[in-house]
Structure 1
C-alpha cells in the first residue's frame, strides 16, 4: 500500500484523464509527475497499478507508455523490482516517435533499412573511435553469446540485438541507441521470425565478428565496411523472401 504522503503527492500531480488520446496524455502526465516530484536517475517510479488508479487508464496503456520511454533510453524495467528512471525528463523532453506506412511490409522494411544504413554506419564508426575497454568487454560477451546460440539453433535474433545495442552504447551518444531501437521497435513482431524464415540474414553471421575486430582495432573505415556487408545481406533477404 502507498504511504499517506506518497498518495497525497500522487493526487497533486496525477489526475484522471479524459478519454481522447490516452497514450499521449499518459506520456505527458508521467513526464510532468517526474519533473514535479524531482525524481532523479535511479529513482523507482510508481507501480503499474498505482499509475492505473491515479490516471484512470488501463494496464495496456501504461505498459505502452513505459515501452516508449524505454525505447528513448530514459527508463528501464527490472524484473521483480519495478520501473526505474535512467535519466531525468520533463514535459519539454523531445520525443521522436516513428510513423511508417504498413500498407506494404516489404516497402516499409526497405525504407527503414535505407535510413538505418546511414545511422548504423555512423554508429559503428563512432564506436570504433570512442570504445573503452569496458565497452569492448560488453560487446565481446554479447558476440560470444550470439555465436553460441547461432551455432546451436541456427538463428539468434535476440542475441543479435543485444550485440548491436552494445555497439550503440559504445558510441557514448545516446541518440544512436534511441533512434535505432525505435526503428526496430516499429517492426518488433516481424523481427521475431522474419517472413517465418529462421535463415533470414544468416549469411551475415560471420561479419559480426569482423565488425567487432574493426571496433577493437579502432579502424573506422573497416567498421563502416563490415556494417554495410551486414545490412546489404539483410536487404537482399528482404527482397528475396518477400517475393
Structure 2
C-alpha cells in the first residue's frame, strides 16, 4: 500500500521523540493504514519530519514495545493495530522538583516490577535468555572495571531480565516508565559511585536466575534496590548540605 506523506511536517527541536510519536500516531489514524500494512521507511520518515535516524528508530522501538508495530528484517516496519494521537499511551514521567523525590518515587515502582520480573525470569528463562543475560552481565562488568561505572550496560542487563519473563507487559511497562527509570543510570547527584556497592549482586542475581531459584532471585533484586535507596538518601543529603 503506497501512502502519501503530505500530512507529515517538520517538527520543532524541543521534545523531539514525543512529537514524532504523536505525529506518527496521528498520521496512522488519518492515512487509512490498517493492521498488516507496511509503514513508510525510516528514510521517508526522517525526510518528512526533518528528524534524525536515531529519533525515528527510538520512536519505532517504543511503538514496538507497546505492541503497535513490528519490524521484519529485510522487509520493513508493519502496523499491528490501529492507533491515534488521542489513544496512544505516552511514556509516564514523575513531575517533582527534587531529584531525590523522583528517584524514591520511581524506586517504589521498580521494586514492584523488578522483584517479580526476576522471579518470573528464573522460572521461565530459556537457555537463549540465559546466554543473553550473561552476555549483558559480562559487558557490564567489563565496562565497570574499566571505567568505574556502566549505566547503559546496567540498564541493558535489566532489560534482558524483563525479556526473559516472556510477558510482553513487562517491557511495555518499562517503556511507559523509561524517562523516570533512566535517571538511575544517568549518574544521579553527579556521583559516578552511585549504587556501585550493588555491583556484585548483579552476578549473584544472574546465578539465581540460572539456577531457576525464584526466591533467591527476588532476594538478590531486593538487595540491589536496597543499596540504591541507601545511596539516594545518603547522597541527596550530602548534596543538600553542599548547597547550604
Contact 1:128/1:215 (<8 A) preserved:
yes
| CA positional deviation for 1:89 | 3.4
| CA positional deviation for 1:104 | 1.9
Structure 2 partner of 1:99: 93
Of 10, 22, 30, the residue aligned with 2:3 is: 10
Partners of 1:238 and 1:86 lie apart in 2 by 42
| CA positional deviation for 1:90 | 1.9
Say what the alpha-carbon RMSD is for the aligned residues.
Answer: 3.5
Matched, 1:85 2:77: yes
| CA positional deviation for 1:67 | 2.9
Matched, 1:170 2:164: yes
More off after superposition, 118-127 vs 184-193: 184-193
Structure 2 partner of 1:132: 126
Matched, 1:184 2:178: yes
Contact 1:47/1:83 (<8 A) preserved:
no
**TM-score (norm: length of structure 2):** 0.76
Flag the 1:37–1:173 CA change in 2: closer, same or farther, 3 A: closer
Q: How many aligned residue pairs are there?
A: 225
Flag the 1:119–1:193 CA change in 2: closer, same or farther, 3 A: same
For structure 1, the 5+ residue unaligned runs are: 1-5
| CA positional deviation for 1:83 | 11
Structure 2 partner of 1:46: 41
Flag the 1:87–1:146 CA change in 2: closer, same or farther, 3 A: farther
Flag the 1:52–1:10 CA change in 2: closer, same or farther, 3 A: farther
Structure 2 partner of 1:110: 104
Partners of 2:236 and 2:224 lie apart in 1 by 18
| CA positional deviation for 1:109 | 1.2
SS of the aligned residue for 2:25 comes to helix
Contact 1:106/1:239 (<8 A) preserved:
yes
Of 28, 34, 37, the residue aligned with 1:36 is: 34
Contact 1:44/1:84 (<8 A) preserved:
yes
Matched, 1:152 2:146: yes
Equivalent runs, 1:194-233 vs 2, <5 Å:
194-233=188-227
